[in-house]
Amino acid sequence: MESVAVVFSLGGFGITTTVVTTWGLLLLFWIVCWLATRRLCVERPGLLQTALEGMVQAIESAIDSVLPGRAGTVLPFVGTIWLFLVVANLTGLVPELDSPTGDLSATAALAFLVFLSTHWYGIRSAGLKNYARHYLSPSPILLPFHLLGELSRTLALAVRLFGNIMSLEMAALMVLLLAGFLVPVPVLMLHIVEALVQAYIFGTLALIYIAGGMQSREAAQGGAAADSNDAGGRTT
């Protein structure tokens, strides 16, 4: 695949087009954020500032529907995931460029970040002891199954995004090769819609996983309360 061609080597590591494209997107994000935030005004916000504030509020509202009252905690991570995936998935529309998310290594890295952030937010919210306890609930026998579930959903998160974006780009290429440039508009519209949908799905799943980790404190407290009630019943 062209998307994994090695561009140059750095310290013995091959830097592929996926990495170069990702670096370019990160640089683009930095430039846009710098230009958009250097002249913020509370009294008379400009059109760009109003659009950015509306976008942030929409993302915050979506997060708040899953994590009421805690949207501000995970907004920087989940919001960045959503915005990056929207741009990354649409990069394949640019001539001579491929979507970084069409490379399994890129989607695996994103899924691994979600995996780490889930546990980080969970430990930060519930504490290490309570967070570890929910893996032993309702019985310590289920610990291997909980761990297997964590690994399998991370793998599924990476493969789902990779498979959908890669198949979308291959389908668009096949249609253009067979039909020429007579039907480019419907193909481009399909690409745009599917790219947005896949970005939304990945970000929503990441949010759900993080919410599950942060709510482990309530689950652990519920399990501890049930154990104490059982112990009290046996005592009486």
What pLDDT is attached to residue 52?
86
Residue 234 forms part of a structural domain = no
Considering only the C-alpha atoms of the chain, give the largest distance between any 2 of them, rounded to a whole number of Å. Answer: 81
Report phi then psi at 195, rounded to 5.
-65, -40
What pLDDT is attached to residue 110?
94
What pLDDT is attached to residue 17?
86
Report the alpha-carbon distance of residue 108 to residue 202 in Å, rounded. Answer: 12
What pLDDT is attached to residue 26?
93
What pLDDT is attached to residue 117?
92
The total of structural domains in the chain comes to 1
Note down the domain range covering 168.
Answer: 2-229
Residue 128 forms part of a structural domain = yes
DSSP summary character for residue 12: T
What pLDDT is attached to residue 129?
81
Q: Is 61 helix (H, G, I), strand (E, B) or coil?
A: helix
Q: Judge contact between 106 and 141, C-beta under 8 A.
A: no
Q: Is 44 helix (H, G, I), strand (E, B) or coil?
A: coil
pTM summary value: 0.81
What pLDDT is attached to residue 212?
84
Residue 236 forms part of a structural domain = no
Run means of pLDDT, 10 residues per run, the chain, 236 residues: 64 80 92 83 79 89 88 90 92 83 91 92 84 78 85 91 86 70 67 88 92 69 47 46
Question: Angle at Cα 12 formed by Cα 11 and Cα 18, nearest 5°?
Answer: 90
Residue 122 forms part of a structural domain = yes
